[in-house]
Amino acid sequence: MFKGSITALITPFKKGEVDWKAFDNLVEWQIEQGTHGLVPCGTTGESPTLTYDEDMAVVERCVEITNKRVPVIAGTGSNSTHEAITLTKHAKSVGADGALIVTPYYNKPTQEGLYAHYKKIHDSVALPIIIYNIPGRCVIDMSVETMAKLAKLPHIVGVKDAAGDLARPLETRAAIGPDFCQLSGDDITAAAFLAQGGVGCISVVSNVAPAECAQLQDAWVEGDLETFAELRDLLLPLAKTLFCESNPAPVKYAASTLGLCTDEVRLPLLPASEKARRLVDGAMEHAGLKGAKRKARSA
């Protein structure tokens, strides 16, 4: 259902407000460059500091601009089940193609609580749901057994896996089967995840290298391992340095060097430090991304 390079969109800001012109241009550019899907209002979109109204407006605007050219998977997760249901219902009402729902952070529910959380959302909204498992941010780790139980529900269609364990996609595939959509949640594992049974990546790097990230995924599907290896190595420094400080500060700085938006983030995050900027500059140069926005690489 969902596959390839799916961009976890940044939310551009200007003087404390959402920069709608920059957002519109970013979405159009992503589609032009070949991105396979978009995720508005994920962590990379600074959803924790968006107001309810802003969150809903960003999702609606993304759906409107995209106009079904690529899938839109709205970030609608919360550590409040009620809040997650409200956001997911809104995403469905405006035409989103799916919902990315993170495991409840801070509350630390049991595995039984995780199952109950997702089942309640599933039963409340008929929209395809991608589970977002990211123990590094949420503390809890959904087990393969819990995920397999949830996968029996018709609207639970896949996982964004940021557990950092490359055995996990194999174990999940063995427990659930090949039709369950497994997407890498870490750019550093995007290439390896494909070899372990994954079908794509929800990517931060693709905010600034959408063509290259999409072509990496396409090359794997087409069996073009030479191009695949070239792009894997080209993108490696970005996959590391865009996380040298708290996401999305480094990628927003990278986007600002391409003229996509300002590097503004909301407190408690701060813009990328001078050290981080130097690292990002080097990674951008390695990937051939310095200067103005590029056209897609030739196939």
User: Any idea where the domains of the chain sit in the sequence?
Assistant: 4-229
**pTM, full prediction:** 0.95
Residues with active-site annotation: 132, 160
Backbone angles phi, psi at 270, to 5 degrees: -120, 155
Q: Say which CATH architecture domain 4-229 belongs to.
A: Alpha-Beta Barrel (3.20)
How many residues are recorded in the chain? Answer: 299
The pLDDT tens digits along the chain (299 residues) read 899 999 999 999 999 999 999 999 999 999 999 999 999 999 999 999 999 999 999 999 999 999 999 999 999 999 999 999 999 999 999 999 999 999 999 999 999 999 999 999 999 999 999 999 999 889 999 999 999 999 999 999 999 999 999 999 999 999 999 999 999 999 999 999 999 999 999 999 999 999 999 999 999 999 999 999 999 999 999 999 999 999 999 999 999 999 999 999 999 999 999 999 999 999 999 999 975 444 434 33
